[in-house]
Amino acid sequence: MDKQDNCITQATAVDTVAGTDRRSFLKATMAVTGGAMLGAPYIGRAADARTIHVASMFDVTGGLSIYGEPEMNVSRMTIDHINKSGGVLGRQLKLHEYDTQSKIELYSRYAQEIGANDDIAIVVGCITGASREAARPILSRNNKLLFFPSVDEGGECDKFTFMQGSDCLQMESPLVTWAVKNAGKTFYVVAADYIYGHVATAWTKSLVQQAGGSVVGTEFIPLDVSDFGATIRKIQTAKPAVIMSNLVGGNHMAFYRQFAAAGLNRSIRIVSPSFGLGNEQQVLSTEETKGIVVAYSYFESLDNAENKAFVAAYRKAYPKAGPLMDLPAQVWNGWHQWKAAVEKAGSTQIDKVVAAMESGIPFQGPSGRIVMDGPSHRNIQDINLATVNDKREFQILETYRQVAPSRQVVGAESCDLTGKDKNSHRMIMPKI
């Protein structure tokens, strides 16, 4: 039995113990079986007083590994960098790694284990909105910080959760503006059938309407679907000027291949806030990807000193890895913002760190300057529009400087975590 299997067996055992307090049982068994299970053996508190324990949960294997593997790589690299630079408050960091294997149930299971481990101060992790919502409520109930380094639909309103990735408004607003100006006003939306896809589509409809356009069709596609024949036929009938693709994951790459095979890429433009996050442009052909327009805070080609150092360090550590995209860069940003907040607070105590983050922690990272917006727990950051060129690389078209995140969810209430929602630990859902 490997460590991963041991972790699953251990969590299953907790679920079946009758008449035993779950938290107490987990604490006792982790002391015996190895703390974070997937990391190094657990070190007793007396011998470990100068170590700060932290964790990452990413899909290193399974269908979402195109995102999770580079994110875990950068998590390791960042912790190593911070430790070699003196640590946090003069203390070294110990990273506990959890491979969630692209399985939502493992996010819940590992969140329970982390919640029961009083030593772990923060989790930088989760990829999809569904995985975040499997882990976030559990971590929050157990007074654990979660930094979510992925693109963000915008409905989180949790005092203990901070988002590093761009939200839907930050990405889709420039995409819709560009598309209406350069392609046309009729949109067809294809989206992943989970929380991110639904919320992103609500933003698409709202922004297209504001821009004087119309959405002529909408489809939600399960993550395990790779046959888009019926969708292609509906698009051929609807004849939109623009496809807004809110698709995610390895299976959904098939859409771009089938779209090009039908010849639709010659007359319909694709814009997307999710394409390329897993280096899809490197897997698909030039014909299948050329001209797709995306919007992210980070691209590997950004010309600044921080990014050059970041890319050089990553290439040295992982010479065979593909191009760096937004998600791993946001992992780097998240760890450093947490470090800055802890050092401003002078403590890893959660309320003090939250207050420091909400004060507007700035960081000059690979994507440029980012500043935490306290009420929304999201970053103010640059947003770059880019298109895939003949070399299957992203060529930046335009940069929007210091774009503010949304504090409002489409068709729903706003969130103010420094005001009316200062004690909130919930998710706000839009009216779709």
How much is the pTM?
0.85
**Digit-coded pLDDT (tens) for 132-141:** 999 999 999 9
For 395-419, the pLDDT digits (tens) are: 999 999 999 999 988 877 899 999 9
Residue 432's pLDDT is what?
A: 56
Give one DSSP letter per residue of 45-104, joined into a string.
Answer: TGGGTTEEEEEEEE--SSTTHHHHHHHHHHHHHHHHHHHHTT-BTTBEEEEEEEE-TT-H
Please check whether residue 111 is in contact with residue 135, taking contact to mean a CB–CB distance below 8 angstroms: yes
pLDDT at position 143: 97
The predicted pLDDT at position 20 comes to 34
Residues pairing with 146 in the sheet: 123, 161
Are the beta carbons of 309 and 55 closer than 8 angstroms? Answer: no
**Orientation angle between helical segments 129-141 and 195-210, nearest 10 degrees:** 110
The boundaries of every CATH 3.40.50.2300 domain in the chain are 3-166+303-381, 168-296
pLDDT for the residue numbered 235:
98
pLDDT tens sequence across 228-277? 999 999 999 999 999 999 999 889 999 999 999 999 999 999 999 999 98
Q: What is the pLDDT of residues 23-34, one digit of tens each?
A: 443 343 333 333
- Residue 404: how many other CB atoms lie within 10 Å: 15
Q: Could you say which residues of the chain have pLDDT below 50? A: 1-47
Instruction: State which fold the 3-166+303-381 domain adopts.
Output: Rossmann fold (3.40.50)
The C-alpha atoms of residue 35 and residue 113 are separated, in whole angstroms, by: 9
Write the CA distances from 383 to 246, 396, 402, 410, integer angstroms: 17, 10, 7, 21
The span from the CA of 195 to the CA of 431, in Å, is: 12
Is 168-296 a CATH 3.40.50.300 domain?
no
Euclidean distance between CA atoms 342 and 93, whole angstroms = 13
Question: pLDDT at position 48, please?
Answer: 60
Q: How far is CA 69 from CA 98, 126, 191, in A?
A: 11, 12, 23
